[in-house]
Structure 1
Amino acid sequence: MSLIAGIRNRRLDGAPTRAQSIAFGASGFPIQLMTQTFSAFVVYFYVAHLGVPAGWVAGAMIAHGILNAVLNPVVGALSDRLRTPWGRRVPWIGLGIVPLVVAFALIWMPPALSAGGLIAWFVVIVAVYDVAFVVVVLNISALFPEIFRTTGERAAGNVPRQIFGILGMVLGTAIAPLIYGSLGWPAMALLLGAVCLGVLTWSLGGGMIERVSGVSPSDAAMPWRAQLKHTFTNRAFVPYVIGSLMVQTSVAIIIAAIPFYVRYSLHAAEGDASILLGAIFVAAIPSIVGWSAFVRRTSPRTAVLTGVAIFGVAVLCFLWPASVLGAALVGLGVGVGVGGLLQLLEIMLGQIIDDDAARTGHQREGVYFGVNGFIVRGAVVLQAVVAAWVLTASGFDASLGDAQPSSVDAGVRVMLAVVPLGFTALAWLCFWLYPIRTADVVRPVAS
């Protein structure tokens, strides 16, 4: 039997095995590896290494963000409506993996062109990367609440996925410079691309399995306007997605503020920023297991409220350290909260999807993950606005180097601690308004 026929004929009936959960979770590694490598180094590569004007690259990155945001709900709706012998999600993932990895590699392997040619190459290849990325990642996300059906299953099944994802985040920022520094950018592209292709193929073959009971034929008939109406009038989804946006904004601001904090508040070497980020990730990985146990004993709402509260209190403590060591200790506390948010938010979204399916008779994982992805992209905009406002108001002047006025130290500490606490408090209020208080919602069984 061929691999394609094997994937077509298999269906999941009952809880996934541990091997299937691990294989599905492994997809988090290449996704985050590509995401972090792209976000951390693509501007540097095209501006500093290839000499493309920074304004051109900035414009291309804005276009990239808009395209990525718009694609999420569109691909989600199309995925929900697809009917094939291979299922709704698996065909998208299977067809998208190779274009995704190839486009990722080609970003770092442009031909010898003028600056205008290079920016054209960048726009086209990144557009292909965006389309393939959304197609693959959104459908993997939409499979999560289908494969894992209860809070208990989702809490256990999300552990390997988040751990693999954090490892991808770390390696995407730590390994890439070592490779391109010693072997060059094309070698980095080929090595990382090969790893991503291998892991995604393993994950597709071993863990991405749709269920025996798919969806009722009437699901395909829900028009787009009705899709939007049911989504944006969902009393659980609206506070969830606003709270998620607030949380994502807090995290984005923290990551953006840490380099300024290390240099202008702690007066340490720029490289010490990795110590703070490392402390957050080191604490997040084991805490994911603890949060998994906690949500199984309580409910997604209770667990998320607890996680957001811990995160907010820990972040506020960045106000006081005077050394990298002290800040790293605070980072450990922040990491516990981050681990909770990584583990719990998708579990809560899965519960919302179950509730929507119970009320409407339509299983619309793709639309919910797509609209969520569209809205939380706003975190990047909010982070940029906050950083620009705080730095300007505090009197920051890049030409002064390390000789910044004392107001910059205060401004950076506010940006790292007080502003994220404000967004976190809004997130806590949104999740407090979240109406589903039970652990599980019974999904309808399709005929």
Structure 2
Amino acid sequence: MKFPSNLPCSAVLDSLADGVFTVDLDWNITFFNEAAARITGVPAEEAVGSKCWDVFHSSLCDGECALKNCMQDCGRISNKSIFFIHADGRKVPVSISASPLVDADGKLLGGVESFRDLTDIQIIRREVEESWRFEDIIGKSAPLTKVFSIMPQVSRSEATVLLLGESGTGKELFARAIHNLSERKDRPFVAVNCGALPDNLLESELFGYKEGAFTDARKDKPGRFELAAGGTIFLDEIGDMPANLQVKLLRVLQEKTFEPLGAVASIKADVRVVAATNRNLAELVEQGSFRQDLYYRLNVVTLTLPPLKDRVEDIPLLINHFVSRFNALQGKDIDGLSEDALQILMRHPFPGNVRELENILEFSFILCPSGFIQVEHLPEYLQPLDRPRSASEDVPRTMEEVKCITARKALERNNGKTMAACRELNISKDTLRRIISRCGK
């Protein structure tokens, strides 16, 4: 093994568990320790003298080379997550640190980089994620574990369940879990968002109607309660239900029957009700906008779902879950988040809860072609800034808003040139046109 005369202690470097290599100003590898040879599968005698990109084929070799940036800016990079291609062709996730290499007089000689194999850590992470999965809900935090502990008993009962929690905490996932763990699991699960439909449509959606009940009722239409027969109906945003429908829902819960619009006979309601809201129903009762008797009928079993800010330890598990999901949906091969990008998300308060995290990762998948999601792939409101952020920048945004802002910024950076912006965002011209056309709507 060759070793530059101005770099002593090769024996010490060879004893390290982390791979270490150095390059000269022409990107020729000048030192390659034993761990580097073991992790890459490339013998030191083959690596020394070769161009670094011919040995590693890393996810940064075609663009943001860590060593290049360090040597140009005389700075350091620590714990950046990337991957390289092993000699046998498989991808190896690693955490790298890099810095410029200078002599005693401060003259730049090249660069030095160390890297740590993360393969075993990723395997453990996947195993841990599976061990902390409850149905389709992922988490290990104390507040969530407390809810998990009573879910089986609650699910096996026939009691009405009220799910309370902020928007984006996954109330429908919990409702589905209750259904899947119940004796009704082989029957339908029907979800209705009570806040998404106008009052006049909500009644017919819930209870259906008979032919001739109104002008356009040309034939019978079953409602969601009838479609959920034998199973579970999930009433989301129950706090937005109008007063006249609260009366009809109360009858369903008390008498287990309902009447479609225009019907002369009641229909048996063999259905379990799970309701959810992000509003304070007790306050709505005091204000007179929600019936007290209905509140007590719904409030047989109450499960309060913790916001993401109270379960920070679940963020890495959720990230791994969403990365796997988006890889499957989009046909990509993203390895995960870099350490610095992960730290930004770990410090973020997530006012939009799990839904906001999902949106952030969906956006990052648009910008990240492969490898690890880096800080620059995160939405702009998460980018580190030297100036203080205004209050509006901290407001959670929808996916459409984030896409719109990013598309406009890309066009600005490219002086309005559509194709240049498309190349930067790695999207087609038609996709960019659709995003822009929806902006401002």
Q: TM-score range by the shorter chain?
A: under 0.3
TM-score, L = length of structure 2: 0.23
The structure with more radius of gyration: 2
Q: Which has the higher strand share?
A: 2
Higher relative contact order (CA 8 A, sep 6+): 1
